[in-house]
Structure 1
Amino acid sequence: MASGGTVKPYPQFDANADAQTLYKAMKGLGTDEETILKLLTARSNAQRQQIALAYKTLHGKDLIGDLKSELGGKFETLVVGLMTPPVLYDVHELRSAIKGAGTDEKVLVEILASRTPKQVKEIIAAYKKEHNADLEADVTGDTSGHFQRMLVVLLQAGRQQGIDAGKIEQDAQDLFAAGEKKYGTDEDTFITILGNRSAEHLRKVFEKYMTISGFEIEESIERETSGGLKSVLLAVVKCARSVPAYFAESLYFAMKGAGTDDKTLIRIMVSRSEVDMLDIRAQFRKMFATSLHSVIQGDTSGDYRKTLLLLCGGNDA
């Protein structure tokens, strides 16, 4: 089964030719949206950065600025997202989540629970450079309690590597003692173990936990915690089991029911299109007995829909 991203580097890439194509698509009366969306979804992010550079060299204009002035709504948000380097995209999403009206906890949870320690370190460095601010300080200034503590642990990006066989049984016992076994919950134990162990190690701990307690760890977290802490612990557990399955579920709930959570839909389609969108598609079909492609098709419209479908890759998705 194919895995990885749906968007690959374009083999016959020519940044100058692409820059000219985009310039023509936006010049004069009316905008050729079809050309823009087809070209940008067929280039990798690194290639899009080269196109932006060529565009400035050839026309003395900022490509993102021109796209913003020609496009609108969700389609514009999606295209600008595709034009942003991945680390800066995460930085932008986190900054908006913290600095907007109220805190968008969902964004903090999704990004910090699903990125690798190396990626988290890159995000922290880029955040500092972009905003001359400390991401951890901004997060702690905007959150509180056990939820804040878990986010701070994830921001340390200090997960152990590999599996520590000697700790599996003890970790499972400690989690059991911290929740199901006692009256009240020792949240700090959940935070320490789930925040600091590797995904491979945690999967072994979850198996052992099941044999000790008779429950899946997710069931215990649902019962023993609440609010933001519950959300972030569940996200960490789901990502330890399977990052693509975590995103498949997030996409499903973004489009299920009345109204679409377009912010989540755009963020996942942009950030995963070159990473693991093929795996997300496969998990989506397995988990929900329908294709991601058909759900996007039924839930969106216009150029926005066309772009999402191209990022989704093929109608068997």
Structure 2
Amino acid sequence: MEIHDILSEVCLGSDELSDGATVKPLANFNAEKEAAELDHALKVKGLDEHTLIDILTRCSNAQRQDIAFHYERSTKYKLEDRLQKALSDPLKSVILALMKTPDKYDASEMRGAIKGLGTNEDTLIEILCSRTNQQISDMAASYLELYKKDMIKDVKEDTSGHFAKLLCILAKGNRPDPSNVVDNELIDMDARALYEATAKNCVHDMDKWITIMTERSIPHLRKVFGRYKCYSCYDMLESVEREVKKDLKNNFLGLVQCILNTPAFFAEKLSNLQGNLKKDILTRIMVSRSEIDLVFIKKEFKKKTGKSLHQFITASTKGDYQRVLLALCRGDD
């Protein structure tokens, strides 16, 4: 397997890629000390939001869980409850997201996308396309624990057609792991099948398209996309843009973009917020990717827009919401 494939596969939802993380475990971490400082920040007259933000953004999620444990042991109050009561949006939404474990945060975002006012298809695609098998499994378990519902069943009941089939397969988290074996014959067969499934004047075989896109490893699919150009005068993204019908196009584009380059996929989502800021999307990306690949997302964002993510956040937000996002961003570049 090529180094690019290995790196990109790890980017696709791994929480072990420290080189891509802007938020890393704090050295010489003392959970009791941090909990005491946090308690003081919550009790001080007027509430010390700056100290609260600094404490919760300078350590990893696992360390925040330790802080919450020691906070409850020393004060007899759940930290999340105190934060919920003390803060107001949009800062509250970021802080509470930071305090959730990644699986519970993803589960809550999935639930909101399914059970909110109209299904948020973009959110479902974003989460299910960018998480690893293990993360999807953990998320589904947390979804069941939190809501007493089966995540796949909820997705199926709230969507329909090919989109429902795509999401339900992704939600199983059964994509094959990367392999050192390169099956050139299968690569060619898949590339031809994808071409025939999206070619003009042909009956679109979306079932075949979904099968290939969800039942092959990420490195294999990247090779398939390269081979696809031997059959089409367009690349895979261009073909989806031109040939897939409108109600599926954005969903399939998101999947292909995520397979090709996950950080670029998120950079694209962030760039679309320019002039049309949606805090829920900005918050979710900054929180969920800060310990995975936000460094790479920042690079892709600058490549795409000509400005840094730090500059975008500074120009588009204000107050403590801006402060916490910039802390997660970790400097201008």
Q: Normalized against structure 2, the TM-score is what?
A: 0.91
Q: Tell me the residue number matched to 2:28.
A: 12
SS of 2:124's equivalent in the other structure is helix
Compared CA separation, residues 236 and 197, structure 1 to 2 (3 A): same
**How far apart, CA to CA, are the structure 1 residues paired with 2:171 and 2:332?**
38
Q: Tell me the residue number matched to 2:226.
A: 207
Instruction: Indicate yes or no: 2:81 matched with 1:75.
Output: no
Q: Tell me the residue number matched to 2:46.
A: 30
Instruction: Indicate yes or no: 2:62 matched with 1:46.
Output: yes
Q: Tell me the residue number matched to 1:279.
A: 296
Q: Percent identity?
A: 42
- Find 2:261's aligned residue among 242, 253, 259: 242
Q: In the TM superposition, what is the alpha-carbon distance from 1:28 to its structure 2 partner?
A: 4.3
Higher relative contact order (CA 8 A, sep 6+): 2
Q: Tell me the residue number matched to 1:296.
A: 313
- Find 2:151's aligned residue among 111, 135, 139: 135
Matches within 5 A, 1:184-203: 184-203=203-222
Q: In the TM superposition, what is the alpha-carbon distance from 1:239 to its structure 2 partner?
A: 1.3
Q: Amino acid of the residue matched to residue 176 of structure 1? A: Y
Q: In the TM superposition, what is the alpha-carbon distance from 1:228 to its structure 2 partner?
A: 4.8
Q: In the TM superposition, what is the alpha-carbon distance from 1:29 to its structure 2 partner?
A: 2.4
8 Å CA contact 2:222, 2:259 repeated in 1: yes
Q: In the TM superposition, what is the alpha-carbon distance from 1:150 to its structure 2 partner?
A: 0.6
What is the aligned-residue RMSD (CA, Å)?
Answer: 1.4
**How far apart, CA to CA, are the structure 2 residues paired with 1:75 and 1:120?**
27
**How far apart, CA to CA, are the structure 2 residues paired with 1:289 and 1:276?**
19
Matches within 5 A, 1:54-133: 54-133=70-149
Q: Amino acid of the residue matched to residue 56 of structure 2? A: L
**Cα offsets for 1:252-296 (capped at 9, x unmatched):** 112x12x31110000000000011111111111122221111011
8 Å CA contact 1:109, 1:231 repeated in 2: no
**How far apart, CA to CA, are the structure 2 residues paired with 1:235 and 1:181?**
21
8 Å CA contact 2:68, 2:79 repeated in 1: yes
Aligned length: 313
Q: Which moved more, 1:161-170 or 1:199-208?
A: 161-170
**How far apart, CA to CA, are the structure 2 residues paired with 1:149 and 1:175?**
17
**How far apart, CA to CA, are the structure 1 residues paired with 2:168 and 2:161?**
11
Q: Tell me the residue number matched to 2:245.
A: 226
**How far apart, CA to CA, are the structure 2 residues paired with 1:13 and 1:196?**
42
**How far apart, CA to CA, are the structure 2 residues paired with 1:118 and 1:24?**
37
**Cα offsets for 1:168-204 (capped at 9, x unmatched):** 1111111111121543411112111111111111111
Instruction: Indicate yes or no: 2:156 matched with 1:149.
Output: no
SS of 1:53's equivalent in the other structure is helix
Q: Tell me the residue number matched to 1:269.
A: 286
**Cα offsets for 1:61-118 (capped at 9, x unmatched):** 1111111111101110000000110010000100111112211111111000111122
Q: Amino acid of the residue matched to residue 247 of structure 1? A: F
Q: Which moved more, 1:52-61 or 1:157-166?
A: 157-166
8 Å CA contact 2:200, 2:243 repeated in 1: no
Q: Amino acid of the residue matched to residue 294 of structure 2? A: M
Q: Tell me the residue number matched to 1:169.
A: 188
**How far apart, CA to CA, are the structure 1 residues paired with 2:255 and 2:114?**
20
8 Å CA contact 1:194, 1:233 repeated in 2: no
Q: Tell me the residue number matched to 2:328.
A: 311
**How far apart, CA to CA, are the structure 2 residues paired with 1:159 and 1:88?**
21
Q: In the TM superposition, what is the alpha-carbon distance from 1:242 to its structure 2 partner?
A: 1.1
**How far apart, CA to CA, are the structure 2 residues paired with 1:197 and 1:117?**
13
SS of 1:73's equivalent in the other structure is coil
**How far apart, CA to CA, are the structure 1 residues paired with 2:159 and 2:313?**
33
Q: In the TM superposition, what is the alpha-carbon distance from 1:207 to its structure 2 partner?
A: 0.8
8 Å CA contact 2:110, 2:124 repeated in 1: yes
Can you give the 5+ residue segments of structure 2 that lack an aligned partner in the other structure?
1-17
